[in-house]
Structure 1
């Protein structure tokens, strides 16, 4: 029976390892040259300039990270050319440029070309998004933008942290292993 207990424990540890280290499909970023500012304005869901006021990484405590993990970039809108009328906007991008994520810096200002719908705006490396200081060509072609007309404050999402989820699953599996071991130990004694 002790041999069976050892086999069960080894199998369970291997099962945990497989679930924790599951491999997903990987992709690489490849971009076509973006169009002119006017063309990209027409193709984009929203175009605005804004200052990065917060960067939220909901997966920062996860042991295994992916370059495709989403980051939430909170902007204070300065001017808008299309699709945005509010003063604060959240845009999502991938964590890393390997997954076409755009790297934003806190307290920096950008000209942002997004796709998606309100509340689900996304930006990627392949768009004309650029630091505002480097976007003079775009700003000249786009002309004067409009200030935001609605003052809003973005609500914080109370999403379950993946780190907490990982710890919970591992704890449950370990508890089950201990119960099985205790049951086998008790049945061997009898």
Structure 2
């Protein structure tokens, strides 16, 4: 009986020692299938462009912070293969790689494969988005892209919709003025 107790005590000690030595690895929620085909991505994506990261805006600190919180990444676009992309554009990605967020670095050039997200263009680790220096296969398959159109809103300072609204307001004010002047002249005292 004493021998059984000794064996059980040794086994218990070895089990505890092994449990202390085994370090659990962090779990990663993002798991991507094989890299998508370039031609398939050209068909599926909303926008494909190359550009340099000019700014990265992290999400604010709230009561709850998630690895899926969106990061706004601003680009100076140099070449466009698909989509309505201007010379400066913003793409969103998840905060962390655990939620498939792409790890952009400021000042680095990328080829971006973006889809339409909740708040505009978005991308992640499971897209073909990559550093431009590592995208030779993509650049060869896509061929020469186009230069982004000039930024119309940057020159005028106003969006086209605001110009239309301002023009409509001026026309309405002019019409009301004309009408009040006209009705004032037709009611001359006799």
Q: Same fold (TM over 0.5)?
A: yes
What TM-score does the superposition give when structure 2 sets the normalisation length?
0.62
Structure with bigger RCO (C-alpha 8 Å, 6+ apart) = 1
Deviations 1:17-62 (A, max 9, x none): xxxxxxxxxx921211132212111111100001000001132x33
What TM-score does the superposition give when structure 1 sets the normalisation length?
0.62
Structure 2 distance, partners of 1:35, 1:118, is 22
Structure 2 distance, partners of 1:118, 1:87, is 22
Partner of 1:10: none
Partner of 1:46: 47
Give ranges in structure 1 of 5+ residues lacking alignment: 1-26, 156-190
Partner of 1:34: 35
Deviations 1:42-97 (A, max 9, x none): 111100001000001132x3364211111000001010000034111100000001
If you compute each CA radius of gyration, which structure gives the higher value, 1 or 2? 2
Q: Residue 80 of structure 2 contacts residue 147 of structure 2 at CA under 8 Å; is this kept in 1?
A: yes
Aligned residues: 128
Q: Residue 111 of structure 2 contacts residue 129 of structure 2 at CA under 8 Å; is this kept in 1?
A: yes
Partner of 2:95: 95
Give ranges in structure 2 of 5+ residues lacking alignment: 1-27, 158-190
- How well do the aligned residues superpose, as a CA RMSD in angstroms? 2.3
Structure 2 distance, partners of 1:144, 1:118, is 30
